[in-house]
Amino acid sequence: MKEPLNVKEPVKKTPIKDQVLEFLNKNPYDKLTPTQIGMALGKSYSNASSSVNSSLKALVKSGDVTRCKIDGKVLYQIHQKNIL
């Protein structure tokens, strides 16, 4: 039996995921690149994107964060349901 397609998986909480969600909640209307998010969390430019990529993917999969592509850039934003 197949599962419905719209079922969101709960995300396992980790410190970096919590930091990403907290940062995106502070900037609910901004669409940001992984590099911008990572640098805001104190990572160096060369490691910023890779340090948050897996967390962002998991948060998108769980429905907490939305992903869009504008002018070739992948941008992330807190999902409207999570705006505090």
CATH class of segment(s) 15-82: mainly alpha
* pLDDT at residue 4 tops 50: no
Q: How far apart are alpha carbons 67 and 25 in whole angstroms? A: 15
* pLDDT at residue 3 tops 70: no
Q: Among all chains, which residue has been given the structure tokens 């967390």?
A: 55
Q: Which long-range contacts (CB under 8 A, 24 or more apart) does 22-25 make?
A: 24/65, 24/76, 24/77, 24/78, 25/78, 25/82, 25/83, 25/84
Which of 49-53, 69-73, 80-84 comes out lowest in average pLDDT? 80-84
What pTM did the predictor assign? Answer: 0.83
Q: Which two tokens stand for residue 1?
A: 């039996």
The C-alpha angle with vertex 47 and arms to 71 and 84, in degrees rounded to 5, equals 65
Segment 10-64, tens digit of pLDDT: 668 899 999 999 999 999 999 999 999 999 999 999 999 999 999 999 999 999 9
The reported pLDDT for the residue numbered 72 is 94
Q: How far apart are alpha carbons 59 and 8 in whole angstroms? A: 10
